């Protein structure tokens, strides 16, 4: 009886060792680690726009700061030189649909994706590049628009969604004073050390240009590092039911 027990014990031990070696464990992707380094991403929507985008680029150049421009495809025609300047000066380019027409882009996920692809194609035609731009921004933000099905279709295409946690409010209130935009730039929606600032470069955003120097100086004095969004940047989007 004792020998039988010993044999069963050894057999069980060998069996466990075999399965521990040969049975693969299903891998799960670990979340991208968040750096504790205070980082700020300056982002500008809706361009390229004559005069305003150039003024913004002038300030960025003088401050030695790189930013991200979420461009609208239909705005590129006749403003190719501005887009080229954005690219040549080392800023990153994101996709912000082609038409910016909510009835078209939010008809269904396929229409939304087609708009992004059309803008990417237009950018490459102008720049003479073969960029696969994956950083995207929903016009009006993803809240109330992004859902499980939509999200998975975007993931299949490799898109990275970027909403924001700091809003200058210059998209709907372009006539606010530069001081108001500066104060808005200090208000974060969460406690993250990563700030993604929503700003605009439409024709009515002159005061955004006026505030930009002070906004950059404020964050530099607070110890923040400015970065442009790229393929390694962790996406940021508002919560939705998965």
Query: Among residues 54, 96, 163, 200, which one is catalytic?
Result: 200
Higher pLDDT, 3 or 241: 241
Contact at 8 Å (CB) between 167 and 126? no
Q: What is the pLDDT of residue 51?
A: 97
pLDDT at residue 167 above 60? yes
In a domain, 32, yes or no: no
CATH for 179 = 3.20.20.370
Q: What is the pLDDT of residue 36?
A: 73
pLDDT at residue 199 above 70? yes
For range 9-32, the mean pLDDT: 34
Contact at 8 Å (CB) between 144 and 173? no
Mean pLDDT, the chain, integer: 89
Structure tokens at 11: 């057999």
pTM of the model: 0.85
In a domain, 27, yes or no: no
Q: What is the pLDDT of residue 23?
A: 28
User: What are the tens digits of pLDDT across the range 137-149?
Assistant: 999 999 999 999 9
Q: What is the pLDDT of residue 155?
A: 97
In a domain, 14, yes or no: no
Alpha-carbon distance of 181 to 208, in angstroms, equals 7
- Asked if 200 is an active-site residue, the reply is yes
In a domain, 16, yes or no: no
Query: Among residues 22, 45, 88, 190, which one is catalytic?
Result: 45
Residue 35's pLDDT band, with cuts at 50, 70 and 90, is low
Coil, helix or strand for 199? strand
Residue 108: CB atoms within 10 A of its CB come to: 12
Contact at 8 Å (CB) between 160 and 136? yes
In a domain, 99, yes or no: yes
**For residue 51, what are the domain limits?**
37-226
Q: What total number of domains does the chain contain? A: 1
In a domain, 25, yes or no: no
In a domain, 189, yes or no: yes
Q: What is the pLDDT of residue 34?
A: 52
Q: How many CA atoms lie within 13 A of 238 on its CB side?
A: 15
Q: What is the pLDDT of residue 90?
A: 98
In a domain, 23, yes or no: no
Higher pLDDT, 240 or 11: 240
Alpha-carbon distance of 100 to 105, in angstroms, equals 7
User: What are the tens digits of pLDDT across the range 90-123?
Assistant: 999 999 999 999 999 999 999 999 999 999 999 9
Alpha-carbon distance of 32 to 49, in angstroms, equals 35
């Amino acid at each position: 009886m004792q020998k039988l027990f010993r044999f069963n014990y050894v057999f069980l031990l060998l069996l466990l060792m075999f399965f521990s070696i040969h049975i693969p464990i299903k891998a799960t992707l670990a979340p991208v680690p968040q750096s504790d380094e205070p980082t700020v991403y300056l982002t500008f929507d809706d361009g390229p726009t004559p005069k305003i985008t150039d003024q913004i680029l002038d300030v960025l150049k003088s401050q030695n700061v790189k930013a991200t421009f979420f461009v609208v495809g239909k705005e590129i025609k006749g403003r190719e030189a501005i887009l080229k300047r954005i690219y040549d000066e080392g800023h990153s380019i994101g996709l912000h649909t082609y038409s910016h027409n909510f009835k078209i882009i939010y008809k269904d996920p396929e229409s939304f994706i087609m708009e992004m692809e059309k803008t990417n194609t237009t950018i490459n035609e102008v720049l003479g590049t073969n960029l696969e731009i994956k950083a995207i921004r929903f016009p009006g933000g993803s809240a109330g628009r992004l859902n499980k099905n939509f999200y998975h279709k975007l993931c299949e295409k490799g898109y990275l969604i970027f909403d924001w946690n700091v809003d200058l409010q210059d998209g709907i209130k372009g006539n606010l004073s530069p001081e108001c935009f500066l104060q808005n730039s200090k208000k974060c929606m969460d406690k993250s050390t990563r700030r993604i600032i929503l700003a605009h470069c439409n024709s009515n955003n002159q005061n955004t240009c006026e505030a930009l120097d002070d906004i950059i100086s404020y964050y530099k004095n607070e110890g923040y590092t400015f970065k442009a969004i790229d393929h390694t940047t962790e996406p940021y989007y508002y919560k939705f039911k998965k």
